[in-house]
Amino acid sequence: MLRFILRRTLQIIPTLLVVVLIIFVIFSVVPGSFISSLMSEGRNATNADVMAHLNQQFGLDKPLLVRLGDYLWGLAQFDLGISYRTREPVWNVIEPRLWPSIKLALAAMFFAAIIGIPLGFIAALKPGSMIDSGTMMLAISGLSLPEFWFGLLLMYVFALQLGWLPSFGYQADSIRHIILPAIALGVSPMALLARTTRAGVLDVMNADFVRTARAKGLSEPRLVRGHVARNVLVLVLTTLGLQVGSLMGQAIVIEKLFSWPGIGSLLVDSVAARDIPVVQGAVIVIVLWFLVINMLVDVAYAAIDPRIKVT
Amino acid sequence: MSKTVPASILSVRDLRIGIGNQSDLLHGVSFDILPGETYGLVGESGSGKSITGLSVLGLLKRPLQVTGGSILFREQDVLKLNKRERRRLRGDRMAMVFQEPMTALNPLATVGRQIAEMFVVHRGLSWAQARLKAVEALETVHVPAPDERARSYPHQLSGGMRQRVMIAIALACRPDLLIADEPTTALDVTVQAEVLKLIAELCQREGTAVLLVSHDLGVIANMCRRVGVMDRGRLVEEQDTRALFETPLHPYTRGLLAARPRLGSRTISERGRLTELDELVADTQRGRDAPTLVTPRGMLAEAGR
Amino acid sequence: MRLRFNLVLGLLLAAIVIIAGVFAAWIAPYHPIIDADLMNSEMPPSWEHWMGTDGQGRDVFSRVLYGAQVSLTVGLVSQLINSCIGTALGVSAGYFGGWWDDLVNGLTNVMLAIPSLVFALAIMAVLGPGLPSLLIALGLTNWSWTCRIARSSTLSLKNQGFVQAAKVAGFGDGNIMRTQILPNIIGPVLVMATLGIGGAVLAEAALSFLGVGIRPPQPSWGNMLTDARELLRAAPWAAVFPGLAIFITVLGFNLLGDGMRDLLDPHMRTRRA
């Protein structure tokens, strides 16, 4: 098992390298450099000497390949470079944003799972019924909903009109602050989970071993609990994992809307300020999160399904 | 001449099965099985023999349903029982062995647990007690190292072993009737004989009646004293097995006998048959939004957002 | 029945949005940018302003109509680009196999690892705001699923009789891919593209909402929501209607895509036959 985890961990590296490469290439063709954006903000950096100095300080005078090499070398030592804006190491800028982001992703997923999975189950147990049609209409609506608009509506109703919950902001130990952004972010994974669960249950219910279980004279609850649920879980797990993994990236808009101090809002702010090292760092963190979660899903698979050989 | 006729264990009377209210799959089938007897139902795929077996247990899947007739089990019409009473009979008094041992067992549970479940559900034992009984049951079906095998998952066993496990599950509660639906069709020829022998041996010992459903006349000849021949939803002939082979009465039976391969070799495997039926049923239930997308070219793709 | 219902509802919604976008100039009672009446700002919906007015006194209904143009352009064009990239890469990878297949596969996996909104945001940062940048950013970042589907169906088609026959008959690879394989995978690709339009409309709205997409004063549903957020308490209608428009558009194309997929599904088809 340990070797399996190790091997999957090592598989992350090449993907990450290519991502770094793509991001690096994209940003090295940025027409407006950070320095010129400093000037446009009216700071006193018109002096050519100052510009040259800044370029040198951030290593921008070196050729692209050398810069890439330097960056990768730094990355190998967990050094993401220096922020143009704050002159701090990028990691110090990212690190405090990490936990709020993870917290939001997990809260959203929790909401999505406790609503979406049971909904899918109920719909599948009575295929073709009103409940089924209704649930599936709800699901496709959830997938079509612009989550930041939904967040805006939630904000209007529950914060501005009813005053039950704070409309934005973050407090480290407050559950109240996370509720609205988590629901807004969780709607689309919830809808997807409901659909996947429904399809999974229908698939499993038609499997031969469920007929065997019926022939054994099991009651319907026992059948679902003992034979259907676990097999469906295996199917649902992929969706769940993919969603958790991509949620940090999807959260950008919601974080911005609710002024949530996560990676997403950092990314947007850094893009606006052309703080390229931080943008690169944030993208790498988001991608790494996706890859790590996917690896964990694979490991969980191996733990649940005895058919998967762990070598 | 005739002495007192022993009461049948199973008496199927004018059974009709169809989709909706039309009986277009089974048009009135009647037969009797005596206690301890092994009765064969033979016919080609689509003749209705499989759904006959399934309907006795009450396992027909929508939209298939019994549209008429009666099924008397121990002189009680099971069609008149409510769901719960019927479920109690299932597994306990009447059991079934299916064709595909590959897919008929839950891939995520140990075989020991799947056998033990029978004792938990029908005998009210605790899981710990049931586990011991499960090992005994494995021993009964001649699985070597039963204690160890009980902890195995289905995919770790060969097809023959899996079918033994299925038999152990079916016979766990010593039912009065075993329905064996093509129990050996999916197995290697060498394993077939062993599995048949096992069914015969155990059922004789316990006095269990068997309804053996098969397309294979060789299997039927080996196992059954009486046999019914089915063709397109009708029981066209019923005879003692020996008489059937010597003087087949119905033209269809003659054709079936003529098409019989010699020396026990199998012709076409009927593997596809059950799945055909299932697909028919699955189609009506399949959601319009399954996350997997099947195109006419038979390829699979996930539609992710 | 339900199957048809979805398809019809999807078609209907999509048609409404397309009509709104194409005929915006004729339908809209006011000009979306110039007709700013500061005396009548933040007015609730009325006969004169069906969807009320925004913070600068502009007619929300007219702006929503013009916003449809942006959303539809972005949705259709970006999906056209995505479908072309995805199909070209997927078919060639499946057809030729070998190192090219490995390369495309690897690239697809990398693309799947970067959330498309993040990728699009990065590209927008480089190209700057505006419609052309949006088309490029969203057109380049969403082809991985199409590519996968095109590849897997090409793989299964490659060894079928008619393709083999064409090979034996001496047709060139390009010719075979174009005339034998492409027509057979166009269905699933179209389904993916239709579903993708919804995704692109959502992404455009999100990027514009973040201020890197369509910049004001040009109306886009996303940037209308940015403005509306500031006066949520005073003029909630300015937030409700643009969002509703996004929702209806995306729902329409999603239903349409779902319905098309079911039509292609042989399991559903056998039941109807």
Question: How is residue B28 annotated by DSSP?
Answer: E
Average pLDDT of the residues in C46-73 = 81
Average pLDDT over residues A69-89: 81
Please give the average per-residue pLDDT across C108-132, as a whole number: 87
**Do A161 and A100 reside in the same domain of the chain?**
yes
CB-hemisphere CA count at 13 Å for C69?
15
C-alpha neighbours within 13 Å on the C-beta side of residue B252: 15
Which of A 248-307 lie inside 8 A of B, CB atoms? 304-307
**A106 and A54 share a domain?**
no
**pLDDT tens digits, one per residue of B204-219:** 888 899 999 988 888 8
> Scanning the structure block, which residue is given the tokens 């099965």?
B17
Query: Which chain B residues have a beta carbon less than 8 Å from that of C153?
Result: 295, 297, 299, 301
Q: Are C271 and B282 in contact (CB under 8 A)?
A: no
Residue B284 has a pLDDT of 38
Residues A77, A177 share a domain: no
The rounded distance, in Å, linking the Cα atoms of B266 and C205 is: 64
Same domain, A127 and A74: no
Nearest chain A residue to C111 by CA: give it: A19
- Residue A287 belongs to a domain with what CATH number? 1.10.3720.10
Q: Do residues A154 and A297 share a domain?
A: yes
The CA distance from C19 to the nearest CA of chain A, in Å, is 20
CA B1 to chain A, closest CA, distance in angstroms equals: 40
Averaged pLDDT, C73-88:
93
Facing C115 at nearest CB: one of A29, A150, A286: A286
Structural contact between residues C204 and C246, judged by C-beta atoms closer than 8 angstroms: no
Q: Which residue has the higher pLDDT, B23 or C56?
A: C56
Which residue of A lies nearest to B106 if distances are taken between CA atoms?
A: A209
Q: What's the whole-number mean pLDDT along residues A81-102? A: 87
pLDDT score for A229: 86
**Percentage of the residues of chain C whose pLDDT score is greater than 90:** 26
Average pLDDT over residues C139-164: 87
pLDDT reported for residue C100: 92
pLDDT band at B135 (very low <50, low <70, confident <90, very high): very high
Mean pLDDT of B181-189: 84
User: What pLDDT score does B278 carry?
Assistant: 44
Choosing from A45, A69, A90, the residue where a domain stops is A90
Asked if the Cβ–Cβ distance from C254 to A148 is below 8 Å, we say no
Tell me whether residue B267 is exposed, middle or buried, using C-beta atoms within 10 angstroms of its C-beta: 0 to 12, 13 to 18, 19 or more: exposed
Q: What is the pLDDT of residue B250?
A: 81
| Residue at a domain's end among A42, A75, A90 | A90
User: What is the mean predicted confidence (pLDDT) over C70-90?
Assistant: 93
Give chain A positions within 8 Å (CB) of C106.
Answer: 14, 18
Considering the domain architecture, whether residues A213 and A268 belong to the same structural domain is answered as yes
* Contact at CB, A211 and B305, closer than 8 angstroms: no
Interface of B with C (CB under 8 A): 279, 282-284, 286, 288-289, 293-305
Q: Which has the closest alpha carbon to A79: A69, A67, A71?
A: A71
Residue A29 confidence (pLDDT): 67
Query: In chain B, whose CA is at the least distance from the CA of C144?
Result: B304
Q: Judge whether B82 is closer than 8 Å to chain A, CB to CB.
A: no
**How confident is the model over A285-301, as pLDDT tens digits?**
999 999 999 888 888 88
C199 CB within 8 Å of a chain B CB: yes
The CB density around residue A6, as the number of other CB atoms within 10 Å, is 10
How far, in Å, CA of B271 to CA of A301, rounded?
30
The closest CB to that of C117, out of A249, A287, A291, belongs to: A249
Least confident of A153-157, A248-252, C2-6, C122-126: C2-6
Query: Which pLDDT band, with edges at 50, 70 and 90, does A31 fall under?
Result: low
Given a cut of 70, whether residue A46 has pLDDT beyond it is no
The pLDDT assigned to B294 comes to: 32
Per CB-CB distance under 8 Å, the chain C contacts of B295 are: 153, 187-188, 264-266
Chain C nearest CA to B274, separation (Å): 17
Considering only CB atoms, C2 lies closest to which of B284, B288, B299, namely: B288
Q: Which of residues 207-226 of A touch B (CB under 8 A)?
A: 207-209, 211-219, 222, 226
Of the pLDDT bands very low, low, confident and very high (cuts 50, 70, 90), residue A60 is: low
Q: For residue C38, is pLDDT > 60? A: yes
Q: Which of C268, C269, C270 to mutate to test the interface with B (most CBs of B within 10 A)?
A: C268
pTM to 2 decimal places: 0.80
Same domain, A86 and A103: no
Q: Does A198 touch chain B (CB under 8 A)?
A: yes
Query: Are A112 and A136 in a shared domain?
Result: yes
Whether residue A236 is predicted with pLDDT greater than 90 in this model: the reply is: no
* C9/B contact by beta carbon, under 8 A: no
| A7 lies in some domain | no
Flag whether pLDDT at C271 surpasses 60: no
Q: Quote the radius of gyration of chain C (alpha carbons, Å).
A: 22
A109/C157: higher pLDDT: A109
pLDDT-derived band at B272 (thresholds 50, 70, 90) equals very low
Instruction: Report whether pLDDT(C188) > 80.
Output: yes
Interface contact flag, B107 A214, Cβ < 8 Å: no
List of E strands, chain B: 10-19, 22-33, 38-43, 64-73, 76-77, 94-97, 177-181, 209-214, 226-231, 234-240, 292-294, 300-302
Count of the separate structural domains present in chain A = 2
Taking the C-alpha atoms of residue B198 and residue B171, their distance in angstroms, rounded to an integer, is 11
Of A80-84, A177-181, A246-250, A252-256, give the lowest mean pLDDT range: A80-84
Contacts of C265 in chain B (CB under 8 A): 293-295
Contact A249, A284 (CB under 8 A): no
Average pLDDT estimate for B231-237: 86
Q: Does the distance separating the beta carbons of C157 and B295 come in below 8 Å? A: no
Asked if B287 is an interface residue toward chain A (Cβ–Cβ < 8 A), one would say yes
> Inter-chain contact B98–A212, Cβ cutoff 8 Å?
yes
Closest CA to C21 of C58, C88, C68, C60: C68
Please say which residue of A52, A72, A90 terminates a domain: A90
Residue of C nearest to B278 (CA): C267
Tell me the chain B residues in contact with residue C6 when contact means C-beta distances shorter than 8 Å: 288
> What does the alpha-carbon distance between residue C20 and residue A274 come to, in Å, rounded to a whole number?
37
- Check B108 against A231: CB less than 8 A apart: yes
Nearest to C114 among A250, A274, A287 (CB): A287
Average pLDDT of chain B, as a whole number: 79
**Whether B117 and A216 lie within 8 Å, measured CB to CB:** yes
Instruction: Say what percent of chain A tops pLDDT 70.
Output: 88
Instruction: Give the pLDDT of residue C273.
Output: 27
CA atoms of C152 and C147, how far apart (whole Å)? 9
Residue C173 has pLDDT above 50, yes or no: yes
- By C-alpha distance, the chain B residue nearest C115 is B305
Same domain, A164 and A298: yes
- A261 vs B217, which has greater pLDDT? A261
- What CATH number does domain C2-31+55-267 carry, 3.40.50.10090, 1.10.3720.10, 1.10.10.410, 3.90.870.30? 1.10.3720.10
A184, A162, A186, A166: which is closest to A176 by C-alpha? A166
Q: How far apart are CA C220 and CA C240, in angstroms?
A: 14
- Please give the pLDDT value at position A114: 94
Cβ–Cβ below 8 Å for C247 and A133: no
Q: Is the pLDDT of residue C79 over 90?
A: yes
Per-residue model confidence (pLDDT) at position A275:
83
Could you tell me if A70 and A96 lie in one domain? no
Chain C CB contacts of A29 below 8 Å: 126
pLDDT band at B2 (very low <50, low <70, confident <90, very high): very low
Across-strand partners of B15? B29
Q: How far is C86 from chain B (nearest CA, A)?
A: 14
Cβ C264–B283 below 8 Å, yes or no? Answer: no
Token output for A122: 């109920």
Domain boundaries, chain C: 2-31+55-267
Scanning every residue of chain B, which has its alpha carbon at the shortest distance from the alpha carbon of A250?
B305
Candidates A30, A252, A290; nearest CB to C117: A252
With a CB cutoff of 8 Å and minimum separation 6, the contacts of B56 are B10, B12, B71, B73, B78, B94, B177, B179, B211
Residues A240 and A276 in one domain: yes
Instruction: Indicate whether A279 belongs to any domain.
Output: yes
pLDDT of residue C200: 92
What is the amino acid identity at position B53? Answer: G
| Three-state secondary structure call for residue B142 | coil
Rounded CA separation A258/A254 (Å): 6
**Which residue of A lies nearest to B172 if distances are taken between CA atoms?**
A216
Q: Which residue has the higher pLDDT, B185 or A54?
A: B185
Is the per-residue pLDDT at B303 higher than 80? no
Indicate the residue type of B51: I
Average pLDDT, chain A: 83
Range of the domain at A184: 92-304
The lowest-confidence range among B23-27, B154-158, B226-230 is B23-27
Residues paired with B90 in a beta bridge: B94
Q: What is the mean pLDDT of residues A229-242?
A: 84
Q: How far is Cα B53 from Cα A207, in angstroms, rounded to an integer?
A: 18
Averaged pLDDT for residues A166-172 = 73
- Give the count of beta carbons closer than 10 Å to the beta carbon of residue B70: 15
Distance from CA of C189 to the nearest CA of B (A): 11
Within 161-220 of A, beta carbons closer than 8 Å to C belong to none
Nearest-CB residue to A199 (from B89, B122, B291) = B291
Point out the residue among B59, B166, B289 whose CB comes nearest to the CB of A199.
B289
For position C268, what pLDDT does the model report?
A: 43
Indicate whether A289 and A258 sit together in one domain.
yes
Q: What is the mean pLDDT of residues A233-257?
A: 86
Q: What is the pLDDT of residue B151?
A: 92
Band the pLDDT of A37: cuts 50, 70, 90.
low
Say which residue, A42 or A84, is predicted with more confidence: A84
Average pLDDT of span A48-75: 72
Cα gap B97→B184, rounded to integer Å:
10
Indicate if the pLDDT at residue C64 is higher than 90.
no
Rounded to whole angstroms, the maximal C-alpha distance in chain B is 77
Region of poorest pLDDT, from A28-42, B86-100, B245-259: A28-42
Q: In chain C, which residue ranges form alpha helices assigned H by DSSP?
A: 2-22, 24-27, 60-96, 98-113, 116-127, 131-140, 144-158, 161-168, 173-176, 182-209, 221-230, 237-264, 266-272
